[in-house]
Amino acid sequence: MSTEFDRSDWDRARAYQSVIAAQGAVVTDAEYLQSADTLLDLYGEDIRARAFTTHDLLRGELMLRPDFTVPIVQQHMSHGAEPARYTYMGKVFRQQENDETRPTEFVQVGYEVFDGSDPAAADAEVFATLAGLLDGVPVTAMTGDIGILRAAVSGLQTTERRRAALMRHLWRPRRFRALLDRFGGLTEMPPARAALLADPDPMAKLPVLLGLRTESEIALRIDALREDAQAAPISSGERELLDALVKVRETSPNALAILRDISVDMPSISGAVDGLSARLDALAARGIDVQNLPFEAAYGRTSMEYYDGFVFGFAASPSLNISPVATGGRYDALTVVLGGGTGVPAVGGVIRPDLVAIAEGAK
Shared domain for 118 and 216, answered yes or no, is no
- Which residue has better confidence, 48 or 334? 334
Q: How far is CA 214 from CA 46, 197, 210, 211, 219, in A?
A: 25, 19, 10, 8, 9
Any domain includes 157 = no
Last residue of a domain, one of 187, 218, 235: 235
On the question of pLDDT at 275 being above 60, the answer is yes
- CATH code for position 58: 3.30.930.10
Last residue of a domain, one of 211, 235, 259: 235
Shared domain for 229 and 245, answered yes or no, is no
Shared domain for 145 and 19, answered yes or no, is yes
Nearest-angstrom CA–CA distance, 119 and 317:
31
Tally Cβ neighbours within 10 Å of residue 241. 20
On the question of pLDDT at 18 being above 70, the answer is yes
Any domain includes 263 = yes
Any domain includes 212 = yes
Which range of 147-161, 169-183, 296-310 scores highest in mean pLDDT? It is 147-161
Shared domain for 231 and 111, answered yes or no, is no
- Which residue has better confidence, 323 or 203? 323
Nearest-angstrom CA–CA distance, 45 and 97:
16
What pLDDT is stored for residue 71 in this prediction? 92
Shared domain for 226 and 246, answered yes or no, is no
Any domain includes 47 = yes
Shared domain for 201 and 269, answered yes or no, is no
Shared domain for 292 and 208, answered yes or no, is no
Shared domain for 128 and 276, answered yes or no, is yes
What pLDDT is stored for residue 2 in this prediction? 40
Shared domain for 194 and 317, answered yes or no, is no
Q: What percent of the chain has pLDDT over 90?
A: 63
Mean pLDDT of 48-67: 84
Contact status, residue 169 vs residue 179, Cβ threshold 8 Å: yes
* Total-model pTM: 0.89
What pLDDT is stored for residue 210 in this prediction? 59
Strand partners, 295: 143, 250
Q: How many domains are contained in the chain? A: 2
On the question of pLDDT at 196 being above 80, the answer is no
Q: What percent of the chain has pLDDT over 70?
A: 93
Last residue of a domain, one of 200, 217, 235: 235
Which range of 32-36, 228-232, 331-335 scores highest in mean pLDDT? It is 331-335
Any domain includes 19 = yes
Q: CA nearest 199: which of 222, 181, 173, 180?
A: 222
Contact status, residue 67 vs residue 50, Cβ threshold 8 Å: no
Shared domain for 98 and 245, answered yes or no, is yes
Shared domain for 12 and 133, answered yes or no, is yes
Shared domain for 183 and 267, answered yes or no, is no
What pLDDT is stored for residue 112 in this prediction? 97
Contact status, residue 278 vs residue 231, Cβ threshold 8 Å: no
Any domain includes 158 = no
Strand partners, 313: 142, 327
Q: In three state form, how does the secondary structure of 227-261 look? A: HHHHCCCCCHHHHHHHHHHHCCEEEHHHHHHHHHH
Any domain includes 324 = yes
Nearest-angstrom CA–CA distance, 183 and 153:
12
Q: How far is CA 274 from CA 149, 190, 200, 263, 277, in A?
A: 14, 41, 50, 10, 5
**Domain extent for 170:** 163-235
What pLDDT is stored for residue 99 in this prediction? 63
What pLDDT is stored for residue 208 in this prediction? 64
Cis check for the bond before 233: say yes or no (omega within 30 of 0): no
Alpha-carbon dihedral sign for residues 260, 289, 354, 121: negative
Q: CA nearest 32: which of 57, 15, 52?
A: 52
What pLDDT is stored for residue 4 in this prediction? 44
Any domain includes 132 = yes
What pLDDT is stored for residue 1 in this prediction? 41
Q: What is the pLDDT of residues 285-317, one digit of tens each?
A: 999 999 999 999 999 887 767 899 999 999 999
